[in-house]
Amino acid sequence: DQQVKQNSPSLSVQEGRISILNCDYTNSMFDYFLWYKKYPAEGPTFLISISSIKDKNEDGRFTVFLNKSAKHLSLHIVPSQPGDSAVYFCAASFAGGTNAGKSTFGDGTTLTVKP
Amino acid sequence: KAGVTQTPRYLIKTRGQQVTLSCSPISGHRSVSWYQQTPGQGLQFLFEYFSETQRNKGNFPGRFSGRQFSNSRSEMNVSTLELGDSALYLCASSLQGQGEQFFGPGTRLTVL
């Protein structure tokens, strides 16, 4: 049972346009949702997160939207830059309890931003 | 602050052997989690340690084990290696185990 799914393995956008990466989840008990970016030969780096009690969080060019009723979140990058080309992972985690320290990741979406 | 470090970065082993990977978390972080990433796959959770105790474990066979030391450094061990164990093993640390995790560069294990 894959609790976090990223249905698009890849996405290609033109520089300056908007990139929208999508993620679906099945467990309504998740407390946090996070996006990580990963370059080849490096570990993932944290990008932005959102608490389950919010529906939007913005940080510069990056905005994450959460639709709890649809169990769906999305990451918007505006404007997209060639340096944003990487693999993006969606992840979900709990605030504590027996699932503390465990993040559930999607399979990732490879974003390519063309100059 | 120094980031999460993992050693070794690359490892080649043969089937049946065992391997030990090491992770040093960010200073002050007490939670260390381990993940396995295989080609085209997301990160699969192995286990998490907090204050030397395993709090959580993923769906991996008993050949995969780990431990955490009093200085929060962690090791994971894989015994009786199989070809399918070839993967990137990532370690991540956080203060208490929730929210944002900081990842190391990973150890690339190849089993021949």
pLDDT digits (tens, 9 = 90+) for A10-63: 999 999 999 999 999 999 999 999 999 999 888 999 999 999 999 999 999 999
- Between chains, do B35 and A31 touch, taking CB under 8 Å as contact? no
A39: chain B residues, CB-CB within 8 Å: none
Distance from CA of B59 to the nearest CA of A (A): 11
**Of B40, B38, B82, B43, nearest to B64 (Cα)?**
B82
- A48 token code pair: 């932005």
Closest CB to B99: pick one of A6, A32, A44: A32
Place of tokens 């970065």: B9
- Do the Cβ atoms of B42 and A107 come within 8 Å? yes
The verdict on B95 touching A (C-beta cutoff 8 Å) is no
Cα separation, A62 vs A22, whole angstroms: 13
Distance, in Å, from the CA atom of B32 to the CA atom of B51, rounded to the nearest integer, reads: 9
For chain A, say whether B103 makes contact (Cβ under 8 Å): yes
User: What is the number of CB-based contacts under 8 A between chain A and chain B?
Assistant: 80
Give the pLDDT mean for A67-92: 97
How open is the CA angle B9-B14-B19, to the nearest 5 degrees? 50
Neighbours of A4 (CB within 10 A): 23
pLDDT in tens, B71-109: 999 999 999 999 999 999 999 999 887 788 999 999 999
